[in-house]
Amino acid sequence: MATDQKKALDIHGKPYSRVALVIIILFATFAGMLNQTSLGTAIPTLMKDFDISMATAQQATTWFLLVNGIMIPVSAFLMTRFRTKWLYEVAYILLFAGMLLAALTPAKSAYWPMFIAGRALQALSVGITMPLMQLVMVNIFPEKQRGIAMGLGGLVIGMAPAIGPTLSGWILEKDHVILGLTLNDSWRSIFVFPMIVLGISIILGFFLLKDVIPNRAGKLEWFSLVLSTIGFGSFLWGFTNVATDGWGDLINVILPIILGIIFILLFGYRQLKLDRPFLNVRVFKNKQFTITTILVALAMMAMMGVEMMLPLYMQNVHGLSPLDSGLALLPGALMMGLMSPIAGIAYDKVGAKRLSRVGFAILTIATFPFMFLGIDTPIHYVTVLYALRMFGIAMVMMPLTASAMSALPVKDAADGTAANNTARQVASAVVVALLTSVTQNIINNNTPAHHVLTENPIQYASKMANASLDGFHVSFGIGMLFAVMGLIVANFLAGKHENKDVDVDYTKGVK
């Protein structure tokens, strides 16, 4: 495929505009990725409107990540089997339908499954579009420009989840008018802006989206699909149930996790035996790819370890409004957006090892103070620390993603993208479920007796705030632990000029 903009050709040999293609993909995928964290600020509102607990409300995020994690392994088959243009169009339509379903859900606890179904449909679509975007970037940009291309992708993968809480907080504060449409201060309006972007993208996509990923004939390996779905589904389902059922629940937690691990191992074993695997797990024979994938997962866990709990801390402990808590996170989101392309350019010059070590070091240092946040901690202090964390995340995420893709030949990019994103989403789902359960359990164990509420309301409020703080402190500490682990593992990355253009024989290992 031609690399010069004026001569860019699709797989049918027809010229197309690379700039127009990238813009529409970035904007539409941004709208989809907003869903990953946009409800974080709205959790207290959902709890109130649906009359549900924090653990149940967090299912809006954990179910999204669960279905997303199940769907991403399937994306490797879909991306190489079906034409790029129509795969995008179908995915965008499904995403639009999922948002509409969630937005129309009646605010009663009995209808909560309907809301979750809408979230699952959104996640199914994002499970296709996110890895597809990365694969498109690999196919339309040469390796020497791949760092900055992945940096642009970072505006979506990194900035969208980071800006989600701020956007939803702004919407929940008061009525707004966008394109002549009035958005009221309801969680339903959170879905309207992404739906507008998607509607425009669907229409423009008929003209601007092109087939840029080579297709290959092949049949869906149904047994592998079943093993993958049961494996990742059961594993993530078990972790999702931890928040509501606790770690001691054999039926809903322990058994699903064990069953998931068994089926994931069976899935991997079967892929090694197939001539045309459903997901080519042999890409993990490439050491550089494996290490970068582990680091990406750790970075996601470190990020989500604070990302999902910080809005709750600011609203429940400091009593901030959704808008104010969202605005407190905005500088961090802007930092992520600013630094992602810069980190991509830096990757092209110095490589992923140096950047990841610096990034994880910054992430560790900036997370440590979160373990000591109190009732009287100034919000601007939290804002500065959060922005510093997002600086570290930006230094890590895009260079590692670009490094993972560059470690593999282009023909294996679809499998590498699917494997990398599966690790990313599984890690996100696990850490959200884990931290939600830990926080909820600590709060429950330290909640003062109910009679204190009537006898001494001020004392009750103080003890309740301290109970919440204890839960948040532990969650932030776990987030820092993942950052420390990333700092250690980053030292095993190859340097900029090492392990370059590794040729992998997937039957005999690394040459």
- The mean pLDDT value for 32-56 works out to 76
Say if residue 447 is exposed, middle or buried (CB neighbours under 10 Å; 0-12, 13-18, 19+).
middle
How many whole angstroms separate alpha carbon 489 and alpha carbon 357?
Answer: 9
R_g of the chain computed on alpha carbons: 22
pTM, two decimal places = 0.71
Between 457 and 194, residue with greater pLDDT: 194
3-state secondary structure string across 207-224:
HHCCCCCCCCCCCCCHHH
Angle formed by the axes of helices 457-489 and 413-446, to 10°?
150
Over 50: is that where the pLDDT of 497 sits? no
Between 414 and 419, residue with greater pLDDT: 419
Tokens 């309801």 locate to: 186
Give the pLDDT of residue 362.
94
Between 262 and 438, residue with greater pLDDT: 262
Selection from 73-77, 119-123, 128-132 with the highest mean pLDDT: 119-123
| pLDDT band at residue 504 under the 50/70/90 scheme | very low
Report whether 105 contacts 111 (CB < 8 A). yes
What is the pLDDT of the chain when averaged over all its residues? 78
Tokens 């229409």 locate to: 203
- The mean pLDDT value for 165-175 works out to 69
Give the pLDDT of residue 143.
67
Give the pLDDT of residue 499.
46
- The mean pLDDT value for 146-166 works out to 67
Question: Which token pair is 170?
Answer: 């702004």
Give the pLDDT of residue 343.
81
Question: Which token pair is 321?
Answer: 């409004």
Report whether 256 contacts 235 (CB < 8 A). yes
| pLDDT band at residue 485 under the 50/70/90 scheme | very high
How many whole angstroms separate alpha carbon 358 and alpha carbon 356?
Answer: 5
When mean pLDDT is compared across 57-66, 91-100, 483-492, the lowest value belongs to 57-66
Between 30 and 487, residue with greater pLDDT: 487
| Ranges of H-type helices in 82-111 | 84-103
- The mean pLDDT value for 343-358 works out to 82
Tokens 């939803």 locate to: 168
Selection from 4-8, 152-156, 380-384, 430-434 with the highest mean pLDDT: 380-384
How many whole angstroms separate alpha carbon 180 and alpha carbon 167?
Answer: 18
How many whole angstroms separate alpha carbon 38 and alpha carbon 191?
Answer: 9
What is the DSSP code (8-state) at residue 411? G
Task: State CA 412 to chain mean position distance.
Answer: 23
Give the pLDDT of residue 243.
66
